[in-house]
Chain A
Amino acid sequence: MVAALTPVRPATPPPPAFGKTRGLGERLSPYAYIAPFFVIFAAFGLFPFAFTFYVALFDWNPIGDQEFIGTDNFVRMLGDPRFWNATRNTVSIWALSTIPQLLIALLLAHVLNNARLRFALFFRMSMLVPYVTSVAATAIVFVQLFDRDFGLLNWLLGLVGVAPIDFVQTTWGSHLLIAAMVTWRWFGYTTLLYLASLQAVPRAVYEAAAIDGAGPWQQFRHITVPSLRPMIIFTVVTSTIGGLQIFTEPLLVGTGGPQSCGVVRQCQTLTLFLYEQGFGQFQFGYGSAVGVALFVMVVAIAAINYLLSTRIKADR
């Protein structure tokens, strides 16, 4: 998961340093301690990031020539129906996975935040198992469970008279299948994040509300949800940034074409499109242009998040 683009927390006041620096070696040693991070990040994080914008201006073939073509890649991308198809798929899968995930997590965090709950550790740990399971393994199992002819889910649906649903070859089906995988993987983790915030709410607040006659639903609406608001925004942002970059699930679901997620690109996402153009078609320039487009979307979401969180602060 990519780190959140939430506004940087003000640094805590610098703690008093201990001792005075002595020799030259001792004086330089702090720089040596922090140097590995900066060197690695510069080489494998910052430089490639900046270089993406450069490569995007070229017709760049990894085993051939590189020709400067200005903004041609971007013009081509904006007129490419495959790009817009991938954008639509990405947004659709994101909405189908994030909204249910956050609602489920809210509810579960609320009921887990009870000091008298028994087996609390078991419930918390079991919810984290999907997070530990790899996406690749998850995809294999889910594709089988959701199979049209031999899947457990369609068999169960068949028992109540629903006709078999094709969760791979159809647009909505494949989006639902991928969203189910994402939801399954992240709902427990998100629940624990919410629970962490909820535990900061004094128990007395709930007890006072209960004495005033607030039922479970009212407690949920008027205490749990408002106190979680900053964390909800945080998880919306992180899951959006993660959702924009979704790659492994559509790659493993797609059977028609390995890089297009199905014969009609019904579940090809933006990152998969980037991969297809870059490493399938060897058009590094065009693939980088898609990367730049993804970056623009991430920045837009960060900006919206910033506006939302400042408004919430103003409300209080």
Chain B
Amino acid sequence: MTSTTPQPRRHGRVRWWTYVLLAAAAVVSLFPLYWMFIVSTTDSATATEMPPEIVPGGNFFHLAGLVLDTVPFVQSLLNSLFVATAIGVGQAVLCALAGFAFAKLDFRGRNALFLVVLLTMTVPTQLSVIPQYLIMSWLGWVDTLQALVVPGLASAFGIFWMRQHIIATVSDELLQAARIDGASTWQVFWRIAFPIVRPAAFVLGLFGFITAWNDFLWPFIVLKSPERYTAQIAIKALQNSLDVDLGLAMSGSFLATIPLVVVFIVVGRRMVAGILDGAFKG
């Protein structure tokens, strides 16, 4: 719609179709989750009825119970929670530590080593799942959770990101003052530098947590027994065991998604800020 007012149009004026467009995007984004919720609260017969049911039913606990009977789902959620937390926290601390060394410590080969860190980002490691599996079997780590956690701790991008934040926010004077007071390098990092960059480390850990929670290919290859499954693999198992009953797989999907939705409601604002702030590559 083009109005022909003589006044120059301001860039800031928001046109009505902007809201229509954005509302449509929001509906598309949220609808599949809502649908997951609907199907997991009604029985599977109504799930396939047309016109579709759009109000939640009262069947959620019944279906959730069936999910728990089919696969050790609570165990899967705990496994996912353990793996994702270990990776999120581990990445945040290890990357802050390495980023601190690259930003503030003087040592031989520092610039060359940092360049190596950046270059590792260009190695497409996901293509080598077969040798990765061989390594895990040599280590005896097949069907263990450390096979997921340990490789997930290294993040070249995380080191880059933390280094940038430490350079931008931690002043040399402050660190020098702590030095004069007799603090060791570790104390300087842990007591002074880390608390300052904790928000950035938190965002990094958050993305690490979510990526680990949703990871599929590697856990699918390396985990064998149902009690070791992460939530994602448990969903796949639900889909396998009852090809017909979609309600069950939907309930499982919904149960596995709830924790992340809760996390997102609490800290989504900071994730958005993290992406807008540093063009975060998840």
Q: B260 to A132, Cβ gap below 8 A?
A: yes
Interface check A26, CB cutoff 8 A: yes
Measured in the bound complex, the distance between the Cα atoms of B43 and A299 in whole Å is 49
Contact B10 A117 (CB under 8 A): no
Asked if residues A142 and B14 are in contact (CB atoms below 8 Å), the reply is: no
Which among B48-56, B61-69, B195-203 touches the partner chain?
B48-56
The proximity string for B residues 82-123 relative to A, scoring 1 for CB distances below 8 Å and 0 otherwise, is 000000000000110110111111110011011111111111
Option from B107, B111, B232 in Cβ contact (under 8 Å) with A11: B111
Bound complex: CA A206 to CA B250 (Å): 46
Contact flags B106-148 to A (C-beta < 8 A → 1, else 0): 1100110111111111111111111111110100000000000
Asked if B264 contacts A132 (CB within 8 A), the reply is yes
A118 touches B14 (CB 8 A): yes
Find A196's partner among B35, B94, B102, B276 (CB 8 Å cutoff). Answer: B276
Residues in chain B near residue A184, CB distance under 8 A: 28-29, 32
Interface residue total, chain A, C-beta cutoff 8 A: 122
Interface residues of A (CB under 8 A from B): 1-5, 8, 11-12, 14-21, 26-27, 29-31, 33-34, 36-38, 40-41, 43-49, 51-52, 55, 62, 104, 107-108, 111-112, 114-119, 121-138, 140-142, 144-145, 147, 149-150, 152, 155, 184, 187-189, 192-193, 195-197, 199, 203, 206-207, 209-211, 213, 215-216, 219, 231, 238, 241, 245, 247-248, 251-252, 255, 258, 271, 274-275, 278-279, 284, 287-288, 291-292, 294-295, 298, 302
Q: Please, could you name 18 A-B residue pairs with CB atoms under 8 Å apart, sorted by A?
A: A15-B104, A18-B179, A29-B185, A30-B107, A30-B185, A33-B98, A52-B127, A131-B210, A131-B282, A134-B253, A140-B252, A141-B32, A149-B48, A187-B25, A241-B124, A247-B216, A271-B217, A291-B127
Q: A55-B131, A138-B32 provided; 20 other pairs, C-beta below 8 A? A: A3-B121, A27-B107, A30-B185, A34-B117, A43-B135, A49-B123, A49-B124, A114-B18, A116-B12, A129-B261, A131-B282, A132-B268, A133-B257, A137-B254, A140-B252, A196-B277, A197-B279, A213-B8, A274-B127, A291-B127
